[in-house]
Amino acid sequence: MKAMILAAGRGSRLAALTEKTPKPLLPVHGKPLIERQIEQLKAAGLTDLVINLHHLGDQIVGALGDGTHLGVSISYSQEDSPLETGGGVKYALPLLGNEPFVLLNGDIWTDFDFQTLPESLPSPGLAHVVVTPTPQWRERGDFEYRSGYVSARGTAYVYCGIAMLAPEIIEARTETVFSLRDIYFDLIETNRLTAQTFHGEWLDIGTLAEYKSLNG
């Protein structure tokens, strides 16, 4: 199974740091965030990777190369303009192929074990997400969860930025610029978004304070 890391964002809320360095290359405990993510994926046997690029993407290519030194194989999807999360995945589909793949946001810190993901997409086989109880520092949550499914939009759980997707759910969109949340919300309406809960370490690095908390 292939895995894709979303690394094209500008990280505007971290502008003091990301003006000259893409967010996935920001160091956490002396190591670029994206390098730690790659190590986690590799530990789960996910070594065929796709990374999308836009803001300062050449720096990411320069740091990671083809992935050989990290024990993985990396292909890059270069975006000429920002496509948002869903659009970025759609643009990368020729590199991802026809089978379900793992998706990971390039700006999260977590100790999630990717080996706990299902070996194949649970029925109905379109999208599967990882959610965690909404932490106190988060203003609001994203979803409600019940018995293996995201049951509604809500506040109890937050999307961890980790998913498994079938390419056909992306191909079906006619837009070129769109968010993955559009897909998730559509699936929720018909009870087709499967999920698993996670109770370990997780941080969405969106602000300078959140970044500093990791290196404190």
Q: Which residues contact 189 (CB under 8 A, 6 or more apart)?
A: none
Given this model, what pLDDT does residue 24 score?
92
CB 100 within 8 A of CB 160: no
Beta bridge partners of 110: 202
Distance (Å, rounded) from C-alpha 79 to C-alpha 87?
A: 10
Percent of the chain with pLDDT over 70: 97
Beta bridge partners of 143: 153, 157
Look up the domain containing 80 and give its range: 3-214
Read off the CATH number of the domain in which 26 is found.
3.90.550.10
Distance (Å, rounded) from C-alpha 81 to C-alpha 55?
A: 9
Total domain count, the chain: 1
Distance (Å, rounded) from C-alpha 205 to C-alpha 33?
A: 10
Residue listed under structure tokens 């070996």: 119
Q: For residue 214, what is the enclosing H or E element?
A: helix 208-214
Q: Name the token pair of 94.
A: 């020729």
Going by pLDDT thresholds of 50, 70 and 90, the confidence category of residue 121 is: very high
Backbone region of residue 131 per phi and psi (left: phi > 0; alpha: psi in -120 to 50; beta: other values): beta
Read off the pLDDT of residues 52-109 as tens digits, 9 standing for 90 and up.
999 899 999 999 999 999 999 999 999 999 999 999 999 999 999 999 999 999 999 9
Q: Which of 86-95, 145-154, 178-187 is modeled with the greatest confidence?
A: 86-95
Distance (Å, rounded) from C-alpha 151 to C-alpha 50?
A: 30
DSSP 140-152: ---EEEETTEEEE
Given this model, what pLDDT does residue 151 score?
87
Going by pLDDT thresholds of 50, 70 and 90, the confidence category of residue 178 is: very high
Distance (Å, rounded) from C-alpha 20 to C-alpha 26?
A: 10
Q: Which residues contact 18 (CB under 8 A, 6 or more apart)?
A: 10, 11, 12, 26, 55, 56
